[in-house]
Structures are given as structure tokens and as C-alpha cells.
Amino acid sequence: MKDWIMELCPEIVGWQAELIAEQAQRRVDDEREACAQIADKYHVPMLDTVADIIAAKIRARGKR
């Protein structure tokens, strides 16, 4: 993402692009976790429900 930011705004320096990229990634991670938590609310104990599968897949996307 840092390279993309530097291409988009060539006037900024590398450390600024790094800070922007880190903050953007944190927001993406936070949003992903918020979505997974919504799915967690529909968890049924002792069953692999669709909600459990969705929550696991959402969290897995952040680990690629």
C-alpha cells in the first residue's frame, strides 16, 4: 500500500506514506473484526453454524 500511496502523492516522503499505510491497514483490520463480531452474535453452541463459518472466513482474510 505504501508504494501506491507514494504513486498517488509523490510529494510525500516515505515515512509519511508508511504512517498513512499503517493507519489505513489498522482501520481495515478493525472493520474486518467488527464484521466478524456481528457474525459471532449468531453463534449457536456446539454447532458449526453459517455465522461461525462467516466469522472465521472474515478473520482469515486478514491473515493472508
**Tally of domains within the chain:** 1
Q: pLDDT in tens for each of the 64 residues of the chain?
A: 888 889 999 899 989 999 999 999 999 999 999 998 888 888 777 777 888 888 888 889 877 6
pLDDT at 64: 64
Residue span of the structural domain in which 55 resides = 2-61
* CA 24/CA 31 separation, integer angstroms: 11
* CA 27/CA 4 separation, integer angstroms: 17
The one-letter amino acid code at 32 reads R
Does pTM surpass 0.85?
Answer: no
> Treating both helix axes as pointing N-terminal to C-terminal, what angle do 14-40 and 50-61 enclose, rounded to 10 degrees?
170
